[in-house]
């Protein structure tokens, strides 16, 4: 798949691209590009934003600037573009990202993520160029870059070959294998540390009992926080 991130801070993604699961995904033919709307802005001196009509603090990303960036990248009117690909505006108030949505996005061939800054987007960007708004939580970040990385991270790790062990993503929190619940607890050596022992069943070597215990733990966690 190809993930395009429109951001005023494309260099933020240089580090992200070096992370193992991301390098694996890129080596497997997937793409992650960061595109700077300043490079194609029709305004002078790299200007991309303006003061809000009606007054108020902060600056708003202009609709003409976003249109120019999308046209330059895709060679199409962004109004039509959204009929053929998901163009996602990252906003604090958007649909909350969850594992089911990440699965859906991972099944797409291409997605476009738009990062806001300052006060956010001119509403016409969202109304006319985007298919949806996506939030990574009910709090406000300074910009959409970290949100885009969260989306890209959870989507890319779902692609076959991105993780060292394919099984890691098959049975983890919120996966169908765990009935959508949180994962069970893990333990490793030493088996006893300061008297904190590992549950006997995990040392038993009895695979079916271990499977049952893990499922029970996951169900228990799904019912509420552990005591
Ligand atoms: C400072 S925020 C703008 C907040 C906006 N004025 C508001 O009150 O909703 C700047 C940009 O960061 C991104 N952003 C901030 N919090 C986010 C979140 N929780 N999820 C996704 N994107 C977020 C969005 O792209 C947003 O346009």
Furthest C-alpha separation in the chain: 70
Q: Above pLDDT 90, what percent of the chain?
A: 93
Copy the structure tokens of residue 85: 């690909």
What tens digit of pLDDT does each residue of 5-34 get?
999 999 999 999 999 999 999 999 999 999
* Count of Cβ atoms closer than 10 Å to residue 24 Cβ: 17
59: pLDDT strictly greater than 90: yes
| Residue 226 clears pLDDT 60, i.e. is over it | no
pLDDT at 3 (0 to 100): 98
Nearest atom in ligand 1 to the alpha carbon of residue 135 is: 20
Residue nearest atom 12 of ligand 1, based on CA coordinates? 143
142 CA distance to ligand 1 centroid (A)? Answer: 7
Single pTM value for the model = 0.95
- Ligand 1 pocket list (CB less than 6 A): 90-93, 115-117, 119-121, 135-137, 139-144, 147
Measure 143 CA to ligand 1 centroid, in angstroms: 6
pLDDT at residue 41 is higher than 70: yes
The confidence score (pLDDT) of residue 168 equals 72
pLDDT at 190: 98
pLDDT bracket for residue 225 (50, 70, 90): low
Q: Is the pLDDT of residue 153 over 90?
A: yes
pLDDT at 167: 67
Residue nearest to atom 18 of ligand 1 (CA): 92
If you average pLDDT over residues 41-49, what whole number do you get?
98
Rg (CA), the chain: 22
Sheet holding 110-114, edge to edge: 31-35, 2-6, 110-114, 86-96, 132-135
Cα 26-103-213 angle, rounded to 5 deg: 110
Tell me, what's the pLDDT at 163?
Answer: 87
- Span from the CA of 5 to the centroid of ligand 1 (angstroms): 15
Nearest to 101 by CA among 125, 76, 65, 133: 133
Q: How many Å lie between the centroid of ligand 1 and the Cα of residue 205?
A: 49
Mean pLDDT (the chain, rounded): 95
Distance 59 CA to ligand 1 centre (A): 13
């Amino acid at each position: 798949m190809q993930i395009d991130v429109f951001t005023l801070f494309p260099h933020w993604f240089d580090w992200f691209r070096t992370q193992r699961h991301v390098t694996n995904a890129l080596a497997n033919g997937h793409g992650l590009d960061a595109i700077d709307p300043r490079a194609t802005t029709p305004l002078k001196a790299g200007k991309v934003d303006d003061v809000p009509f009606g007054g108020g603090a902060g600056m708003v990303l202009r609709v003409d600037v976003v249109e120019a960036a999308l046209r330059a990248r895709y060679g199409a009117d962004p109004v039509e573009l959204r009929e053929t690909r998901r163009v996602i505006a990252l906003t604090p108030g958007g649909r909350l990202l969850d594992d089911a949505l990440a699965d859906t996005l991972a099944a797409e061939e291409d997605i476009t993520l738009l990062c806001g800054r300052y006060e956010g987007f001119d509403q016409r960007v969202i109304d006319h160029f985007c298919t949806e708004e996506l939030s990574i939580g009910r709090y406000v970040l300074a910009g959409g870059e970290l949100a885009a990385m969260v989306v890209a991270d959870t989507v890319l790790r779902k692609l076959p070959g991105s993780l060292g062990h394919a099984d890691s993503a098959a049975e983890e929190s919120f996966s169908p294998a765990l009935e959508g619940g949180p994962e069970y607890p893990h333990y490793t050596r030493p088996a006893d540390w300061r008297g904190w022992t590992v549950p006997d069943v995990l040392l038993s070597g009895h695979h079916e009992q271990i499977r049952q215990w893990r499922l029970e733990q996951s169900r228990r966690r799904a019912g509420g926080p552990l005591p």
